Chains A and B, each alone.
Chain A
Amino acid sequence: MIGIFAFYLFATLTILSGILVIFARNPVHSVLWLIVAFFNAAGLMLLLGAEFIALLLVMVYVGAVAVLFLFIVMMLDIDFAKLRSGFTRNLPIGLLIALVLLAEMLIAITAANSGPLIGDQPASTAQSNLSAMGELMYTRYLVPFELSGIILLVAMIGAIVLTHRDRGDVRGQKIHHQVRRDPEEAIRMTTPESGKGVEL
């Protein structure tokens, strides 16, 4: 009974917060509702018994990605009238994307009933889904796993290269220079005569 209650709670909250992401007037509120949606989706994953995925969802999406979203959205200076002005013009594109997503979801739902994805042996319940996932990822799906890793690495390096620019006029702190200095070259002891300063 608790399970059913929890499912409807999480499902309702996911859908509600999903709707509020779109309808919230303030972009920061949108992002916060998105976080609530992520969180409840993680709850649904937990109910499915996929605790590893659920916690990864919270850790990666809620803990890191959404923080950066929030970071950027908070600093945006948005003119709402301007933002709304292109609504009818952009509507066809939006509808097209929505249709594609809907079709994908329908395919996924129908495919889910077509049989197990992995081999024909039934999933053993004794194995924790953490070790089951690890086993699949490092044996059967080793190549896609490594490939996705390389793609992410390339994306990361690309982002760094694109945003990094060398400004010639900045004097950065060079820690190793500071650490390498020793008192002999940094300090000079003098006893200046009275009435005269120290000559540099």
Chain B
Amino acid sequence: MIALVLIVAIVAALVLLGWLIPGVGEFFSTAFWGGAVQGFEAAGMQQDWAYGLGTLIHILLIALPLMLAVAMVIYTERKIWAAIALRRGPNVVGPWGLLQSFADGLKVFLKETIIPSSANKALFLIAPVITFTVALIVWAVIPFDVGVVLADINVGLLYILAASSLGVYGVIIAGWASNSKYPFFSALRAAAQMVSYEVSIGFVIMGVILWAGSMNLTAIILGQQGHVLGLLNGYGFNPLLFPMAVVFFISSMAETFRTPFDLVEAESELVAGHQTEYSSMSFALFWLGEYANVILMCALNAILFWGGFLPPVDWEPLYAIPGIFWLFLKMGIFFFMFGWVKATVPRYRYDQLMRLGWKIFLPLSLAFVALVSGWLMFTRFEGGAL
């Protein structure tokens, strides 16, 4: 209840802010973003170099706030779990414990990196780097507003699928290179889990692609404008796609190895899974990567089904708020739901996980691909007259 009031209050405040300062939206989309390349070109740089340097600045503009967001998000999530468990959560370091993550980061940074003597040294060190890198590269195609995207490619969704399917290598290689049996079990579990849930995610995304008629994420978001009754922005409000939104939400938890499906690091069975042998910064990289992935999945949920940077209702005054705030608001809601689930739902057994993936989600999402394409055939393409 309090959370609801808070959300309404924040939205109202943002609407006011948008009215009072009319340039806010412009600032976020153009001045802050698009100016770099043109600026360098105007300063007399060659086109190639201006483009390269501008892109580098854009990458930093995404990656650095993302790292900061990861730190704050860990703090937020610990506070959410604490509230659900009637505890106080981190409240010592800094005001309200806000600096807790930075203290943890510093501690981890100062520790010694231990490499087990029987580990495969090169792969052991590469594994966390892979996890971390893959978690970052996916952000290249996420649009924060119209035009505010690092790479506006026309196969953006496919790129996300491809890049996120690489994420499992960090876990597998870590598990194998550790040369220890618990990490190894974890690697095997991760491989099977990732492949299983990728299938249903692929079919769920297919429904969205069919409806939007594009794989470009900006086009997908803009296609959701006034999607239901010309009023609601979001495929999730469509009864044919809402079940898919739910399946995607659950699958995205499985894809990031989050709690009901965190068998990869089930501490009662596998110590800490693939991270068991890791210490210091190599351990921290796994965590940074995991939380970057969680934020990414929140963003994907918001973008694919709930209108991304569009306001939820297609009502003119709401557009006064910069799109990036709407995106962050939706991501925040999904992040809260991720934390909520983690605090309340018990872990699945491995066979239950496989059953859910293969026997429920796969047939369901396949059936909905047929339903959606059939519906579109009869409404949009006049019964498929070739």
Contact = CB atoms under 8 A, between A and B. Distances in A.
A11 interface: no
A64 B165 contact: yes
Interface in B167-187: 168-169, 172-173, 176, 184, 187
Contacts of A62: 162, 165-166
B154 interface: yes
Interface in B124-163: 153-155, 158-159, 161-163
B48 interface: yes
Interface in A29-78: 32, 35, 51-52, 55-56, 58-59, 62-64, 67-68, 70-71, 74-75
Interface string A166-200: 00000001010000000000000000000000000
Given A63-B165, A71-B188, A55 B154 contact: no
B159 A68 contact: no
A64 B198 contact: yes
A56 B159 CA distance: 9
Nearest to B199: A64
A68 B195 contact: yes
Contact of B166 (A1, A32, A58): A58
A1 B165 CA distance: 31
B191 interface: yes
A130 B155 contact: yes
Secondary structure type dominating chain A contacts: helix
Contacts of A2: 48, 52
Q: How large is the interface on A (under 10, 10 to 19, 20 to 34, 35 or more residues)?
A: 20 to 34
Nearest to A172: B351
Contacts of B70: none
B123 interface: yes
A67 B195 contact: yes
B355 interface: yes
Nearest to A42: B162
A12 interface: no
B9 interface: no
A175 B195 CA distance: 24
A65 B325 CA distance: 39
A55 B215 CA distance: 12
Interface of A: 1-2, 28, 32, 35, 51-52, 55-56, 58-59, 62-64, 67-68, 70-71, 74-75, 128, 130, 173, 175
